Amino acid sequence: ADHQKADWVSIHQQICQLLVPVRTPLPCGLSEQERKHNTEQLLKRQKHIIDLAYGTAQRFVRDGKHKEAIPAALCALRFGAEVYGSDSAQLVPAYLLLAEASTGAGNLPQAARYLSRAQWIVLTAPNCSAALQAELHRGLGLFCAAEGNLEQALYHLANDIYLASSSFGLQSLEVSGAYFHMANIFLRQNKMDIANSLYAEV
């Protein structure tokens, strides 16, 4: 009952009506053109659910409601696997969001499993973009910081800055997040000059 309530509050009430046409099997006896049209409509609906679930999970994480974010992020992951395949690089953002939500909810072992899966996909995906690799390093950096492994966290965030800079430019907003997280870590290490310098850079 608790699980169903959490799922309903997180995402199910938003997508309940959208699931009906997605889960209804196609009628028999359709022409090739009708089948193609129905398949395109199904794909469009599935992608809409992915976007809605992912956006909802992001909002919960931003608001500090990490437990509420998990069912929505899982929904995005589930539909993403249906649409793109279980080893697609398109699933990495959902895995990273699940890792962040799990970390925030205090479940570090589960977060580690999600990060490990994301890392495996990035390592095995052909032509994986630098932007996606930067996202992965940020996720790994935040996880290491949560574990208290600050040096390893700085290593991953430095990689995040390098990869994001090569994709978006040195002065891009995409890079500023990694600077901010690095500054927080230097603040925890009482290295105030470096922390203040990085905050100024942000």
Torsion, Cα of 175, 179, 182, 187 (10° steps)? -160
Indicate whether 26 and 102 sit together in one domain: yes
Indicate whether 197 and 135 sit together in one domain: yes
**Whole-prediction pTM:** 0.84
Indicate whether 33 and 124 sit together in one domain: yes
Domain that holds residue 10: 1-128
What count of other Cβ atoms lies within 10 Å of the Cβ of residue 25? 5
The domain boundary residue, chosen from 128, 153, 175: 128
Task: For residues 118 and 102, give the distance between their C-alpha atoms in angstroms, rounded to a whole number.
Answer: 14
The domain boundary residue, chosen from 65, 98, 128: 128
Indicate whether 121 and 142 sit together in one domain: no
Task: Find the helix or strand (DSSP H, E) in which 179 lies.
Answer: helix 173-188
Indicate whether 114 and 146 sit together in one domain: no
**The predicted structure's pLDDT at residue 176:** 93
The domain boundary residue, chosen from 100, 128, 156: 128
**The predicted structure's pLDDT at residue 17:** 58
Indicate whether 50 and 118 sit together in one domain: yes
Give, in order, the Cα–Cα distances in Å from 75 to each of 70, 93, 96, 145, 202. 9, 13, 14, 27, 33
Q: SS3 for 82-130, per residue?
A: HHHCCCCHHHHHHHHHHHHHHHHCCCHHHHHHHHHHHHHHHHHCCCCCH
Residue 174 contacts residue 164 (beta carbons within 8 Å): yes
Overall number of domains in the chain: 2
* Site of tokens 């925030």: 104
Indicate whether 139 and 171 sit together in one domain: yes
**The predicted structure's pLDDT at residue 171:** 87
Query: What DSSP character marks residue 199?
Result: H
Per-residue pLDDT of the chain (202 residues; tens, 9 = 90+): 555 555 545 566 666 556 655 566 666 666 778 778 777 887 888 898 899 899 999 999 999 999 999 989 998 999 999 999 999 999 999 999 999 999 999 999 999 999 999 999 999 988 889 999 999 999 999 999 999 999 999 999 999 999 999 999 888 899 999 999 999 999 999 999 999 999 999 9
